Structure 1
Amino acid sequence: MAPVPSLLWRSFRVLQVYGANTDVGKTVFTTILCRAAKLRWRKEHVAFLKPVSTGPGNEADDLHVERHAPGVARRTLLQYDLAMSPHAAAKGKLVPSNTELLSSVYRFASRRATHGPGWLFVETAGGVHSPGPSGTTQADMYAALRCPVVLIADAKLGGISLTISAFESLKLRGYDVEAILVFRDGKYDNEQYLRDYFTSHHSITVASLPAPPPRVDSDTDTEVMSQYYEEESNSTAIHKILDHLDRRHQARIDRLDSMRGDAYRQIWYPFTQHKLSSPENIAVIDSARGDFFQTLVPETKEARDINQPALQPSFDGSASWWTQGLGHGNPSLTMSAAYAAGRYGHVMFAGAIHEPALALAEKLLHGMKSTRLTRVFYSDNGSTGVEVAVKMALRAARLRYGWAAGTDIGIIGLRGGYHGDTIGAMDCAEPSTYNENIEWYNGRGIWYEYPSVKCVRGRWIVEIPDALKVELGDDQIFESLSDVFDLGARRSKQRHRTYEEYIELTLSRYLDSGRKFGALLMEPVVVGAGGMELVDPLFQCALVDVVRRSAKLFDTRYQPSTSEPSSSDPTCWSGLPVIFDEVFTGLYRLGRFTASSFLETEADVSVHAKLLTGGLVPLSTTLASESIFKAFESEDKADALLHGHSYTAHPVGCQVALESMRQMQEMEKRGEWDWAKDSDWSGSLGGKTKANLWSIWPWELLDWVSNQVHCVAGTWALGSILVVHMRATDGTGYKSNAALKLQSFLRDGYGDGEVRWNVHSRVLGNVLYIMGSQKTTKDDVVEISDLIRHALVAH
């Protein structure tokens, strides 16, 4: 099923009417709005929609609208005959999914919009958090539609609290509350309080109308109500509200239409050559929900003629630069952030502790299940987290080997490895497009070429770079990706020893020339920004093994003192500290809590960010072993780890991270990814699961893509990541344009019935990757897989 767009058209205004409680007059106010809009805009189309209604059909709200607002198109999508909450009334009956119900709402709105300019009022059932038929509260269920809201306040005793609570619930979910309507009630004077409160605190327009007359017998009631509606639909107050809603709608459209040009003139974008860019290349994002942005569809004459929707769904194919894990607008993450902001705001961290920071440290250490890692250091983002890790490791190595403070110490890494854009993190990477033009860049290390893994023509191949075929031999072919990751079986064979010999020989040459190294730094399993390369895990294991057993290589004068832990102690680093940069690959991105588990080894220092907070706020943690921690213990304060940020361990980030990890761990326990692990779905990854590998991207897709040899050099998938290496005539690497055509096709997207959608993706030179979240559904994967097939056929 295609994703559901937001309900926004340029000349067709859609308003959602919410009530602060049940029985606050939603239908009465909506009828007045419908009737007044019909009077005020006589040539325009006005419609009423009740998605879900409960109670006897002859008392349905759309019949009330038909009776008292003639000429207004009206419909109820679901009518349950029991007068109770929709989730209870729907028991024992066919219950549509949330997506199916929202799609029905969209179809009704879309068909009304084809009539031209007009209005649609969508009335909800009960209060803001009254459950829909599926049990999801309406505030969550309808949020994806992004309708501006008219909130009907509660004029009864207790109504002030209910109204403010309803308003805050809507705001927390990204709704724009454009107006508040309330009946006048001299007994409690709620009207005046709410007017003062919302005007002064939130600058929201509040209007009041007289309460409808008390109900009498049916014939008289109809006559009395008709007179009431006649008067109030012509009232100045309601026409001012409609004018206000009309202006707000037009202002929203005007702002969206101007954002491209305004941004082009005022914003300095990251990773963008502005000389080669244009306003048309800027995606205007109105909102995001789940895995989808809602992006602006530029206005054209054709679009005006058919009143085309102003927004379309765009799958967030880069997971918003690899951060998105639990869906945009996740209400639990939002509540966690609001709770911490309300409880703490921000509080300084040095020499202090607060519950979210301590609880997060405990949860991370427990989740890693590492015998080495015992300490958590907080910083702001992945790049600074890596800089912290490097500071830790270099200090530990310098002190153990007795090097002077000014010694030039490098790191050992992988070709293409990239660990962030701050100067220190950049120095841990080889010269590349990212850093070679940076004035202070000074690459401090050696970077190993490595074998990589791809699926080519339906076979899993460990590709040996041409420059290493003499040392490492030819490519290897495996039945499955599971076999590639079966390190126990592979260690016993010659290739592991060959890797070790090559690594040690290369390292010895640099050491013999006088170079000194203080750490091994690498992204386990996948090199991210360096080209989305799936690294042969056996090579990474060999690299760790060589580094850890080679203390004498790093300093021939080194003799362990009796006061130092035994090298056989699994919690103590040996050779050099090993840093795993799991900023991208950790916390379920590859299907497991920690990417280090794929390598069957543990880091001495481990860096985590991105999925840590589920994509909501920045936060990074650097986890370290006790032996690394003790390297900074001294009687001299200057020997401490003098690193920190104003927002270190900010409570909002820590609380959100706690909720993010809780949700992902619960999803794993409940088996919510079993659809992707099932052999009939992802058993590809060669048809075996002995290495516990899985991906949301099915084997059938990978097999098909890998056989498109006219344009594809190889592909792979693991966890939520799908990577396509395109054949390139302009060379591989970041400067290549080989993947731009495929990216453009995905951005153009395609339509499914009344809905057009696309995929917003990023490329790394000749590599295009698409990344789901941990909430991506099988249905969405099927839709995107079809689009990828269309794109490659058209390539």
Structure 2
Amino acid sequence: MAHLYPHLRVHQVFGANTDVGKTIFTTALCLASSALPLSSHSTTSSPPGDVFTASKQGLGERVHYLKPVSTGALDDADDAHVSRYASATQYKTLYRFSEPVSPHLAVELERRAKLAEREVGQGAQPPTDEQFVRDVGDWIHAAALQEQGSQGVAYVETAGGVHSPGPSGVSQSHLLRPLRLPTILIGSAELGGISTTRSAFESLLVAGYDVEAVLLFPSPRYGNVEYLQKFFAEEHGIPVFGLGGPNGNQGRVFGGPPIKNVDTSQDKAAMVQFYSGLVTGTPEGFSAEHTHGGVYNVVKYLRQRHTQRISEISTMAQRTRDTCWWPFTQHQLTRTNQEVNVIDSAYADFFSMLDQRNSSPSSKIGDSIKSNSLLQPIFDGSASWWTQCLGHAPQRLVTAAAHAAGRYGHVLFPNGTHEPALLLAELLTGKNQPSTSSPSLASNPGYGWADRVFFSDDGSTGMEVALKMALQSSILRYSSSHPSSSAAADKAKPGQQAGYRAGKPKKEWQVLGLKGSYHGDTIGAMDACEPSVYSEAVHWYRGRGFWFDPPTVEMRSSGNVTVSLQVSDKDLADRMRTRHLSQELKQDQPKEGVIFEQCYTSMQEVYNVEARLRANDPLVEFYRSSIRDQLKQLTKEQGRKFGALVLEPLVMGAGGMIFVDPLFQRVLVDVCRSSSDLFSLDDAPLSPPSSCSSTIVTTESAKEGDWQGIPVIYDEVFAGLYRLGPCTPASVLGVTPDISVLAKILTGGMVPMSVTLASKSIFETFNKSDSKVDALLHGHSYTAHPIGCAVALETLKAISELKQSPEWETCQSDWDVTKKVDTGVWSFWSKSSIEKLTELDNVDHAIAMGCVLKVALKDGSGQGGYTSTASVDVLKQLRFGESLIQGHPSIPVIQENQQEKLAYNVHARPLGNVIYLMSSLNTPPAVLRRSEELLLKAIKESK
């Protein structure tokens, strides 16, 4: 977690390289911080008297110093130097290794030495990355607890340069990133130091750090200070301090420390004189390479920046309420600043969020929290609206984005190409893959069916593209005259308008879909959904379609997995069809109609669609006949025209995490593809003549390999690219679409981008002539932007590596899936936790798949749906309940005396009476298990 305390400044000190004076400057900062009175706000004057005397008198802050990892002899250790010249400092080193080399090599040399002496496994083991960061975080918090009622400062000095490895070999800048401490960069005064310092700074910048100040020794010969001051001031607004102390010639030369004297007493006297001058500074106007005021001025500046940072983050909530317009939010319900989530940063699965519980009306937190960090780790329970898959800010995606930005910025795409877009399109379709890879639906979502990739900016616009593709394809095949829009039809000659027969009004092309679906907020995507709370107040909305009531999959307290379908009393045909089901299915009588429940022994049985088809599952014929009869009624009796089947495969997200029976979706696709006799009716009579059959002659006849019936669109914005386990839900359904839309996970949650995959026959719809009007006239300025394409490539590469990880294999085994089974469904959430949730009295059902864990609460009001408030108490407890201080929340540790506290807080978005949590594809198992416990506890304690 990040740390921010009103009473404790915290800074980490990085060096541009080794031997640039990192320990010297850190020692001077410790000395100056303890000597400079807290009441001294002047930036031009220093406190009177000797700096060492002032330091011992404790006029300034109480100082803490940490060296996380040290290598080499104890006599040369950095903490020993700090204690010698800044004696008022409390110091500590977490890990020591005897060899004076890089920490990762020191660990290896120590291991080899133990191996030679057969002592492997004895003594302390090197820390894991998570434990290393937790130890640093815990040390910082311990320092904060000491400073209650006083003002303190903590300096964390790293080893070597910015990318010098930690004990595990991971770059220190990446290793310490979860803490994201304000950074002081020590630059290089040597020849080449300008490049070294700038490179180090850019590495820290890209890693997400805020560099507060740059310090380096004066460099009169090379002018490094003067150059860097100009560069950092103009480009980044960061001050550069050229600081030195007297190092010879009767104190008239100020620079780096004096050469070490073999005489210990003389060496110490020289260093005392050096530090005194370094802290108090050179006389004004000494030279352009020397910054007046010494390290005292640095400390004053850092104190001001600390105060400004707290002031800034404390006002963000009100300023946001005054200026921003939030999505999906009724602003009247956000009545206080405490209800605004102020996010300082994010890393892995956690936000670093301003902790406002002390001032929250609903808070029950005691005064003990006042000594905690103002920033709190919050588990991102919605994966930031389903976008995250590798955690926040993974370094490999950050680097990919930076490289593409540096190489391209943005370039236009029409009639052009660039490497990231081409490689991504080929990867998604499985074309031109390297010989080392075997394309398949398990890795390439468009393999075997998609021929083209159309780039757009987000899921909603990707769906707009898909609808245009599908509807135009159907119109060209089934319409007796080709104009497809009202405007085009109006241009036709009188008496020849498209859709008119014997004075009858023209018919509108519509879509087929499922109730509870959601495809985005652009008007076309909205029109492809049934009327709902999302469209209720949208004036231009016109639901253009018919939506089937989908059977759902649920896990209940019985331990079985059930498929539930509701049949209305008003639907006589369905009532007739269910007669043969009544002996095989459990029945329940709701207020209207009958709910039939088919029980299965496991998730694997429900989601093995091919096996259910082969075994003639009792629902197969019911689904097939009811769908076919409904289509007949819609087309033959009502004369409606349909141009696409639009599905969210397996799970409908925004509708309430509705897990749809995959058998129903499979049968729906099959029936629609075999019903061209119904979709081809141009002016349907009430009773179709005998000539109406699947061989009916149409304007555009289907050829082998063409789409059949009507084009099938899979909206995989939420469900695609491993969110539910498989690369594409098509591998579970056993049938591929004609058009598919991917987004969200596509770019690892880093930048917005969407792709619409289309089969060859869909593409040929728009490639039949030289006329531009026949083309797909859709696009946006940032089509196939190189940054998004490059990040998407790196995301898919990272996921392909995760698929082979032991963590994935463990999760699959938990759900009885082996690597040999491509169609098995599984979840990162444990099967046992789902079963425990289903046993709770206030839980209706629970289920999990892939990253998604869903819990549907019983709603006493009977309201249900998106507008239900049944989940409010649970979400409030998860978000605002008292939690532990985590040095690093990826290792949630709870002591016996802390059982009443949450390991960390959770931010989750409600979907009416449905609570869901969503993990990344690489969330640590410890975080998954702890999050399950938190959810179970919160639901138990809710009313």
CA distance change for structure 1 residues 102 and 293 in 2, over 3 Å: closer, same or farther?
same
Greater mean deviation of Cα atoms: 225-234 or 717-726: 225-234
Partner in structure 2 of residue 26 of structure 1: 22
Matched residue SS, 2:935:
helix
Task: Compute the displacement of 1:150 (Å).
Answer: 0.5
- Quote how far apart the aligned CAs of 1:263 are: 1.2
Q: Of 717, 722, 730, which residue of structure 2 is paired with 1:596?
A: 730
- The answer to whether 1:555 aligns with 2:677 is no
* Match of residue 534 from structure 1: 659
Contact in 1 for aligned 2:608/2:824 (Cα 8 Å): no
Post-superposition offset of 1:553:
0.9
Matched, 1:490 2:590: no
1:234 aligns with 2:268: no
Distance 1:778 1:121 in 2: 32
Q: Do 2:257 and 2:274's aligned partners in 1 also have CA atoms closer than 8 Å?
A: yes
Equivalence for 1:311: 375
**Equivalence map 1:213-362=2 (5 Å):** 213-217=258-262, 218-235=264-281, 236-278=293-335, 279-298=337-356, 300=358, 306-362=370-426
Q: Distance in 1 between matches of 2:374 and 2:539?
A: 44
Alignment partner, residue 852 of structure 2: 721
What percent identity do the matched residue pairs reach?
43
**Closer, same or farther in 2 for the Cα pair 1:82/1:290, shift >3 Å?**
same
- Asked if structure 2 preserves the Cα contact closer than 8 Å seen for 1:257 and 1:298, the reply is no
After superposition, the Cα gap between the structure-2 partners of 1:565 and 1:22, relative to the gap in structure 1 and judged at 3 Å, is farther
Instruction: Determine if the alignment matches structure 1 residue 374 to structure 2 residue 451.
Output: yes
Aligned to 1:575: 709
Q: What does residue 464 of structure 2 align with?
A: 387
Map Cα deviations across residues 660-696 of structure 1 (whole Å, 9 max, x no partner): 11111121134541231233xx44x899978422211
C-alpha distance in structure 2 between counterparts of 1:68 and 1:225, whole Å: 8
| Unaligned residue ranges in structure 2 (runs of 5+) | 38-58, 112-123, 245-255, 282-292, 360-365, 431-443, 486-506, 582-595, 682-691, 888-902
CA distance in 2, matches of 1:455, 1:192: 68
Distance of 2:357 and 2:333 partners within structure 1:
23
Which of 808, 818, 827 aligns to 1:673? It is 808
Judging changes above 3 Å, is the alpha-carbon distance between structure 1 residues 588 and 212 closer, same or farther for their aligned structure 2 residues? same
Q: Cα deviation per residue 1:360-404 (whole Å; 9 max; x = unaligned)? A: 100111112532211000100000000000000000000001254
C-alpha distance in structure 1 between counterparts of 2:307 and 2:323, whole Å: 23
Other-structure match for 1:695: 827
* Deviation digits for residues 187-212 of structure 1 (CA, Å, limit 9, x no counterpart): 32222221222122211100011211
Residues 482, 689 of structure 1: 8 Å contact kept: no
Residue of structure 1 in register with 2:212 after alignment = 178
Structure 1 position 231, deviation (Å):
2.2
1:702 and 1:716 in contact (8 A); partners too: yes
Equivalent residue in structure 2 for 1:420, among 520, 524, 546: 520
- Per the TM alignment, residue 565 of structure 1 is displaced from its structure 2 partner at its CA by 7.7
CA apart distance, 1:245: 1.0
Q: What letter is aligned with 1:601? A: V
SS in 1 for 2:553: strand
The 1-side partners of 2:603 and 2:713 are apart by 25
> After superposition, what is the alpha-carbon deviation per residue over 1:280-337, rounded to whole angstroms, capped at 9, x for unaligned?
2211100000010001012748659842210110011100000001111111111111
Distance of 2:818 and 2:329 partners within structure 1: 38
Which residue in 1 is equivalent to 2:136?
Answer: 105
CA RMSD of aligned residues (A): 2.0
8 Å contact kept, 2:478–2:699: no
- In the TM superposition, residue 621 of structure 1 has moved relative to its aligned partner by 0.2
C-alpha distance in 1 between matches for 2:561 and 2:87 = 67
Q: 1:191 to 1:303 in 2, by over 3 A?
A: farther
**8 Å contact from structure 1 (residues 482, 688) kept in 2:** no
**Which protein has the larger Cα radius of gyration, Structure 1 or Structure 2?**
2
Residues 377 and 886 of structure 2 are in contact (CA less than 8 Å); yes or no, is this contact kept in structure 1?
no
TM-score by length of 2: 0.81
Superposed displacement of residue 44, structure 1: 2.7
SS in 2 for 1:673: helix
Provide the C-alpha distance between the structure 2 equivalents of 1:420 and 1:549, rounded to a whole number of angstroms.
Answer: 29
SS of equivalent to 1:454: strand
| Residue identity in the other structure for 1:742 | V
Q: Which has the larger displacement, 174-183 or 263-272?
A: 263-272
Q: Is contact 1:452–1:464 with CA below 8 Å preserved after alignment?
A: yes
SS in 2 for 1:623: strand
User: What does residue range 430-441 of structure 1 map to in structure 2 within 5 Å?
Assistant: 430-441=530-541
Residue of structure 1 equivalent to 2:174 = 140
Which residue does 1:744 correspond to in 2? 876
Distance in 2 separating the partners of 1:686 and 1:664: 18
The question of 1:792 aligning with 2:939 is answered: yes
Gapped regions of structure 1 (runs ≥ 5): none
522 and 555 in structure 1: CA distance in 2 versus 1, 3 angstrom threshold: same
Map 1:59-70 → 2, pairs under 5 A: 59-70=76-87
Q: Distance in 2 between matches of 1:611 and 1:193?
A: 43
Q: Distance in 2 between matches of 1:272 and 1:719?
A: 28
Residue by residue over 1:236-276, the C-alpha shift from the partner in whole angstroms, topping out at 9 and shown as x without a partner, is: 13122111111111111111111111111221111111122
Letter in 2 for 1:382: G
Instruction: Tell me: CA distance 1:696–1:130, structure 2 relative to 1, closer, same or farther (3 Å).
Output: same
Q: Is 1:207–2:338 an aligned residue pair? A: no
> What secondary structure is seen at the aligned counterpart in 2 of 1:219?
helix
Give a deviation string over 1:622-670, Cα, whole Å, max 9, x none.
0000100111122321111000001111111111111111111121134
**Counterparts of 2:679 and 2:823 in 1: how far apart (Å)?**
34
- Tell me: CA distance 1:777–1:706, structure 2 relative to 1, closer, same or farther (3 Å): same
Amino acid at match of 2:641: K
How much has 1:58 moved relative to structure 2? 2.4
- Distance in 2 between residues matched to 1:193 and 1:403, nearest whole Å: 74
Query: Cα gap change, 1:758/1:299 in structure 2, threshold over 3 Å: closer, same or farther?
Result: closer
Mapped partners of 2:175, 2:345: distance in 1: 15
Q: Which residue of 2 aligns with 1:523?
A: 648
- Report SS of the residue matched to 2:791: helix
Distance in 2, Cα, partners of 1:780 & 1:446:
42
Which of 705, 718, 721 is residue 584 of structure 1 equivalent to? 718
| 8 Å contact kept, 1:382–1:610 | yes
Instruction: Specify the SS of the correspondent of 1:674.
Output: helix
CA distance in 2: counterparts of 1:733 and 1:64, whole angstroms = 65
- 1:610 aligned to 2:744? yes
1:501 aligns with 2:619: no
Deviates more, 1:493-502 or 1:188-197: 188-197
1:783, CA displacement in angstroms? 1.1
Structure 1 SS opposite 2:222 = coil
Shift of 1:561: 6.8
Q: What displacement does 1:183 show?
A: 0.6
Structure 1 residues 573-628: Cα deviation after superposition (integer angstroms, max 9, x where no partner): 00000000000000110111112111011000000000000000000000000100
CA-to-aligned-CA distance 1:416-450 (integer Å, 9 cap, x gap): 10100001100000000000210000000000001
SS at match of 1:617: coil
The amino acid across from 1:651 in the alignment is: P
**Equivalent pair of 1:749/1:759 in contact (CA under 8 Å):** no
Aligned mates of 1:182, 1:436 — CA distance in 2: 62
Match of 1:776 in 2: 923
Q: 1: CA distance between counterparts of 2:60 and 2:448?
A: 74
Tell me, yes or no, if the aligned pair for 2:826 and 2:850 is still in contact at 8 Å. Answer: yes
Match of 2:139, as an amino acid? F
Out of 452, 463, 470, the position equivalent to 2:564 is 463
With over 3 angstroms needed to count, the CA separation of the structure-2 counterparts of 1:650 and 1:281, relative to structure 1, is same
Change in CA separation of 1:770 and 1:201 when aligned onto 2, cut-off 3 Å: same
Where in structure 2 are the equivalents of 1:70-85 lying within 5 Å? Answer: 70-85=87-102
Distance 1:465 1:743 in 2: 30
**Contact 2:137-2:886 within 8 A present in 1 as well:** no
In 2, are the aligned partners of 1:728 and 1:766 still within 8 Å (CA)? yes
The residue type equivalent to 2:152 in the other structure is G
CA distance in 1, matches of 2:878, 2:449: 44
